[in-house]
């Protein structure tokens, strides 16, 4: 394939990737966005194959690798439950980072194959590119492994901190920069793998102090890192499309991280450096909170209140995801709408364990997109809402974010459900949310707790409502 034709096709693929990002910005166009992304990637792969000179035997190995990787990825994605989607995303991010490290290592040990000189005589610009790709890729890999472990429950979701943690990270960062400079000056194997190992360690250290409540930001941040790693390797390979794609993923991930930071009242710089989520919350305080009396009810109470209301707002959270209650919830809401109740859904930008987690679950249950509203759209309506049905959400509804300056979540924008006439709160217990903070909403005068599994509660309400 001629270079000019390859450039044109790469440009088309790049445009398709941009259209994919635009499509993914809205639930209504997300399927179309995915289609554009898939089409762009197919074009990119075909053009890359036709643009390189490789023996047939080499192509066989490549196709075998593609078949194996594609099969594993497809089967995993198909079988994974929606509740485990955040850890799947974290796991796939780790593979992107590892791929960047491996490509950088291959380019360093065999530069002539990549057209960047010979061993010991690689241009400084290429050395900088591969060191950035390997560094960011290694941080992405190890950081994603920790995020996966916390999301999967393999390790505690609580922040893991130790004395002089930030000082150690700063020292390692300075050492890493120094090793990168030495690598560019000396081009030795020891320096390359030293900077890679240091980056692996830094990746672990910047994620372990981040608590589970901040995982949506972490997932978004790692997505950005994986994009920049791919971009760096794109320069090493002189592949314009990889540069464009990596830059798109990196910049869009960074923008999303910024939006998530605003949603959680976090410093963007602190997120990048891993310096947040380390607040300590005493368990004793939570135990004292749990001992306070609450008003509780059952499914028949909830059914009676909702079917006699004019307006109901549903606030889904991670508890809904764990119970896989979205389909039962949708059925319950359909019955209420048949009875003349105005039903809408309120989504907090950081609800769940990854960006858009609740939107995905509701879309899976075929909830109409126009019924799903964001925090800024719905908050002003709570005061005129008869019933708010909170299903498994906790931190994102906690009034302490507005009233308690000592709370770790203070300043975080929340769904102001306490302003509604009545709040029905479906939850297994009075335990604190992922942030480790007791929810004052449980004890509000207008709150009724519905203890039990979220899916079973919705099904019981459906039976009480009658079809």
Asked about 381 being catalytic, the answer comes back as no
Check 214, 376, 386, 395 and give the catalytic one: 395
Distance CA 341, CA 333 (A): 9
Contact yes or no for 101/185 (Cβ under 8 A)? no
The 10 Å CB-count burial string (b at 16+, else e) for 346-365 is bbbbbbbbbbbbbbbbbbeb
Q: Two tokens at 266?
A: 């976090």
Distance CA 60, CA 71 (A): 16
Strand partners, 54: none
Q: Taking Cα atoms as reference points, which of 212, 216, 208 lies closest to residue 139?
A: 208
Distance CA 125, CA 372 (A): 48
Distance CA 431, CA 215 (A): 19
CB under 8 Å to 121, separation ≥6 — which residues? 187
Give the number of other CB atoms < 10 A from CB of residue 259. 16
Distance CA 226, CA 90 (A): 10
**DSSP secondary structure string, 316-352?**
E-HHHHHHT-HHHHHHHHHHHHHTT-EEEEEE-TT-S
Q: Give catalytic residues, as residue numbers.
A: 395
């Amino acid at each position: 394939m001629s270079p000019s034709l390859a450039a044109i096709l790469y440009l088309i693929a790049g445009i398709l990737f941009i259209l994919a990002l635009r499509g993914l910005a809205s639930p209504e166009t997300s399927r179309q966005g995915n289609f554009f992304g898939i089409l762009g990637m197919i074009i990119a792969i075909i053009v890359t194959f036709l643009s390189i000179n490789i023996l047939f035997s080499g192509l066989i190995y490549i196709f075998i690798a593609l078949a194996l990787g594609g099969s594993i990825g497809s089967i995993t994605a198909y079988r994974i439950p929606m509740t485990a989607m955040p850890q799947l995303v974290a796991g796939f991010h780790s593979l992107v980072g590892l791929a960047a490290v491996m490509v950088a290592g291959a380019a360093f040990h065999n530069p002539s194959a990549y057209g960047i000189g010979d061993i010991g005589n690689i241009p400084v610009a290429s050395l900088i590119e591969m060191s950035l790709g390997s560094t960011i890729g290694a941080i992405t890999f190890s950081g994603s492994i920790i995020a996966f472990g916390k999301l999967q429950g393999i390790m505690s979701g609580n922040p893991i901190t130790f004395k002089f943690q930030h000082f150690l990270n700063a020292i390692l960062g300075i050492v890493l920069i120094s090793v990168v400079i030495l690598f560019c000056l000396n081009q030795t194997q020891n320096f390359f793998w030293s900077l890679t190992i240091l980056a692996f360690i830094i990746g672990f250290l910047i994620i372990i102090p981040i608590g589970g409540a901040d995982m949506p930001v972490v997932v978004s941040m790692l997505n950005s890192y994986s994009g920049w790693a791919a971009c760096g390797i794109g320069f090493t390979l002189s592949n314009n499309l990889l540069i464009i794609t990596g830059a798109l993923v990196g910049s869009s991930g960074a923008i999303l991280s910024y939006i998530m930071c605003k949603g959680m009242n976090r410093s963007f710089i602190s997120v990048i450096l891993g310096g947040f989520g380390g607040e300590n919350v005493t368990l004793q305080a939570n135990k004292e909170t749990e001992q306070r009396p609450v008003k509780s009810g059952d499914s028949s109470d909830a059914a009676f209140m909702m079917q006699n209301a004019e307006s109901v707002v549903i606030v889904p959270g991670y508890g809904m995801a764990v119970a896989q209650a979205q389909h039962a919830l949708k059925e319950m809401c359909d019955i209420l709408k048949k009875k003349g109740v105005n039903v809408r859904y309120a989504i907090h930008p950081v609800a769940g364990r990854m960006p858009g987690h609740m939107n995905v679950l509701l879309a899976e249950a075929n909830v109409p997109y126009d019924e799903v509203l964001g925090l800024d759209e719905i908050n002003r309506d709570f005061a005129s809402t008869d019933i708010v049905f909170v299903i498994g959400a906790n931190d994102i509804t906690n009034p302490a974010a507005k009233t308690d300056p000592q709370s770790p979540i203070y300043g975080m924008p929340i769904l102001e459900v306490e302003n509604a006439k009545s709040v029905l709160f479906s939850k297994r217990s009075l335990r604190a949310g992922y942030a480790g903070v007791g929810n004052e909403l449980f004890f509000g005068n207008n709150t009724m707790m519905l203890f039990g599994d979220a899916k079973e509660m919705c099904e019981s309400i459906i039976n009480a409502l009658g079809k």
